[in-house]
Amino acid sequence: MSHYIHDEKVKELEVKANEIRKSLIEMLIAAGSGHTAGPLGMADIFTALYFHVLKHDPKNPEWSERDRLFLSNGHICPIRYATMAHAGYFPIEELKTLRKFGTRLQGHPEREKLPGVESTSGPLGSGLGQAAGVAYGARMDGKKFRVYCAMSDAEHDAGNIWESVMFAAANKLSNLTGIIDRNNIQINGITENVMPLESLRAKYEAFNWHVLEVDGHNIEQFVDACEEAHAIYEKPTVIIAHTIPGKGIEEIEFDYRWHGIPPGSGPTDIFAAKDQGAAFLAELRTLGGKIQSEHE
């Protein structure tokens, strides 16, 4: 299936991503806990995946021919939940149950709780191995679906991810596409200060992967990269997506302190805690208005 995308579709997806960001903030406010920066930064990519790239059916989540999307850095699951709800997997109102007792929307994804979630994730560095195993099995079974694995940059501090990188390359898993959220932050600082990762491109190329780098907020670039990955033969592909943590709320962009806390619990040097949720939603509404007016 071609992923070619036209300008009107890009505009539509940009507006959708902004709506999803608003749902994300609302669910974090309702939960009173959860991650803000990374999910906001990945909104454009998850929107592109669920509304254009993936072969899937929200009404039949277990469809055997569906593409598989693994989320390795499970803590950013609020953006996956918000995107899935907008795509029709479950009612948008259910997003307000995030992290509540008995919810299907756990603080980290749980496969048996929510149809459409491919794996239970939490321990960082594990998702690529799961995705590579499914991709390997698909090839053994002659299946044509593709496997995608979203990962954080900082989880590349974990050694097990590099074992999976070797396995995928050794087995020439061209049906596997990794997506790295290269936002340069982790819970206690800037990645290059905590444990330098660069050069990520050179590392993956040394392991015989096909490497693409994109602006993670440019939906057309990301879609084109997915299309190129589809055309690569006998190599897995990794898309290094450069993103802005906190994207859409200018005052918190690039601020690692917002990695793991929700509006209402964040740093108060710009917004008082009680004002954070309303301020974030107001800013996203304004951004949405700008996008809409530009594209009318």
pLDDT in tens, 220-229: 999 999 999 9
Q: How far apart are CA 131 and CA 110, in angstroms?
A: 16
AA letter at 63:
W
Q: What is the pLDDT of residue 287?
A: 65
Do the domain assignments include residue 243?
A: yes
Q: What is the pLDDT of residue 294?
A: 46
Do the domain assignments include residue 229?
A: yes
Domain with 233, as residue range(s), is 7-295
AA letter at 89:
Y
Q: What is the pLDDT of residue 97?
A: 94
Do the domain assignments include residue 2?
A: no
Q: How far apart are CA 149 and CA 147, in angstroms?
A: 7
pLDDT under 50: residue ranges of the chain: 1, 288, 291-296
Phi, psi angle pair for 136, to nearest 5° = -65, -45
Do the domain assignments include residue 1?
A: no
Q: How far is CA 180 from CA 87, 107, 254, in A?
A: 23, 21, 17
- Token pair in block for residue 139: 């090839």
How many domains does the structure of the chain reveal? 1
Q: How far apart are CA 217 and CA 246, in angstroms?
A: 12
Residues in the chain, how many? 296
Q: What is the pLDDT of residue 296?
A: 41
Do the domain assignments include residue 274?
A: yes
Do the domain assignments include residue 190?
A: yes
CATH number of the domain within which 129 lies: 3.40.50.970
Q: What is the pLDDT of residue 184?
A: 86
- Cβ atoms of 155 and 124 within 8 Å: the answer is yes
Do the domain assignments include residue 221?
A: yes
Q: What is the pLDDT of residue 16?
A: 96
Do the domain assignments include residue 228?
A: yes
Q: What is the pLDDT of residue 122?
A: 77
